[in-house]
C-alpha cells in the first residue's frame, strides 16, 4: 500500500465547474496535510495546508480533512484553464516525522 | 531573489561520471530536503539535512548517492558513477523550522540526463 494515494487522472472539468481532487493516506499518525500545484516542467508550489479535521477555505480553494477516514481533498471552485496542472497531495508527521511524503499527483485539465 | 536556488537547471552526464547538484535554501531557512521525481510520478523523498547534519537519509540509495549541507555554502547532492536510471528531476526544498507543520518551498529543480 502506498503511503499517499491519489487518482492519477486525468480529471477533466469544464471552465467554471468545481474540480474535486481526492487523497488518502496510510499513516494514521500523520499530522499535517498539504496541497501543491505543479505545472508541467515546473516546480511544485504550495496551495494550501490543513492540520485539523473539517474544511479550510482560501479564495476559490477549499481543503477538507477527515482523519478518521484518512482522507483529504481539495475543491477548486469556478475552475479556470489556468488551473490546469498536476495537483500533489503531501502528508507529514506520523512515522516519518522528518519528511513530507507525496502522492503521485492528479492531473487536472480545465476546458474552456 | 529570496527563493530556493538550484543549479544547474539542466545537467547532462555520461554513464560513470559524477553529478553534483547544488541548492541554496531560502533566506532564513536552515532545513533542506532533496526529492527525486521521475516523469509522470510523484516526488520521492531522499534526504533531510540541517546545517552540518544529516537528519534523515532513509530515502537515499545506499550506494553512489551522498548529500551534505556545510556550515557555509549550498547543500550538495552528489551522485557518483551515474547510470541511466538516475535520469530524473531533482528538487530541493527548504523550510524555516522543520517538523511536520512546516511547509516546504521548492526550487526549480535540476534535470539530470544520463547518456
Task: Tell me the pLDDT tens digit for each residue of B80-112.
Answer: 999 999 999 999 999 988 777 788 999 999 999
The mean predicted confidence, pLDDT, of chain A is 92
Q: What band does A98 get if pLDDT is binned at 50, 70 and 90?
A: low
In this predicted structure, the answer to whether residue A7 has a pLDDT above a threshold of 90 is no
| Mean pLDDT calculated for residue range A31-47 | 93
Residues of A in contact with B45 (CB under 8 A): 96, 99-102
Q: How far apart are the first and last CA of chain B?
A: 33
pLDDT at position B14 is 97
Quick check: A65 contacting B, CB < 8 Å? no
| Mean pLDDT calculated for residue range B73-83 | 97
Which residues are CB-contacts of A103 (< 8 A; sequence separation ≥ 6)?
Answer: A2, A4, A5, A6, A23, A88, A89, A90, B42
pLDDT at position A1 is 63
* Rounded alpha-carbon distances, angstroms, from residue A92 to A39, A54, A76, B38, B99: 22, 18, 23, 21, 8
Q: Determine whether the interchain pair B48/A42 forms a contact, defined as Cβ–Cβ distance below 8 Å.
A: no
Chain B residues in contact with chain A using a Cβ-Cβ cutoff of 8 Å: 33, 35, 40-45, 48, 55-56, 58-59, 91, 98-101, 103-109
Residues A59, A40: Cα–Cα separation, whole Å: 23
What is the tens place of the pLDDT at every residue in A27-38? 998 989 999 999
What is the tens place of the pLDDT at every residue in B12-58? 999 999 999 999 999 989 999 999 998 777 899 999 999 889 999 98
pLDDT at position A46 is 94
pLDDT at position B44 is 92
Amino acid at each position: 500500500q502506498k503511503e499517499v494515494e491519489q487518482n492519477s487522472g486525468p480529471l477533466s472539468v469544464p471552465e467554471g465547474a468545481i474540480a474535486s481532487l481526492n487523497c488518502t493516506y496510510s499513516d494514521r499518525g500523520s499530522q499535517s496535510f498539504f496541497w501543491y500545484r505543479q505545472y508541467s516542467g515546473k516546480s511544485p508550489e504550495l496551495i494550501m495546508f490543513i492540520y485539523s479535521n473539517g474544511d479550510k477555505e482560501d479564495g476559490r480553494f477549499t481543503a477538507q480533512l477527515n482523519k478518521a477516514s484518512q482522507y483529504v481533498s481539495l475543491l477548486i471552485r469556478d475552475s479556470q484553464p489556468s488551473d490546469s496542472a498536476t495537483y500533489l497531495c503531501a502528508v507529514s508527521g506520523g512515522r516519518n516525522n522528518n519528511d513530507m511524503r507525496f502522492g503521485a499527483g492528479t492531473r487536472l485539465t480545465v476546458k474552456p | 531573489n529570496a527563493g530556493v536556488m538550484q543549479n544547474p537547471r539542466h545537467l547532462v552526464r555520461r554513464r560513470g561520471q559524477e553529478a553534483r547538484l547544488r541548492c541554496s535554501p531560502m533566506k532564513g531557512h536552515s532545513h533542506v530536503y532533496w526529492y527525486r521525481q521521475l516523469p509522470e510520478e510523484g516526488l520521492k523523498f531522499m534526504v533531510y539535512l540541517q546545517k552540518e547534519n544529516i537528519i534523515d537519509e532513509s530515502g537515499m540509495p545506499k550506494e553512489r548517492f551522498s548529500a551534505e549541507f556545510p556550515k557555509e555554502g549550498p547543500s550538495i547532492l552528489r551522485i557518483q558513477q551515474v547510470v541511466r536510471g538516475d535520469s530524473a528531476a531533482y528538487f530541493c526544498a527548504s523550510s524555516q523550522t522543520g517538523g511536520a507543520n512546516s511547509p516546504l518551498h521548492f526550487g526549480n529543480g535540476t534535470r539530470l540526463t544520463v547518456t
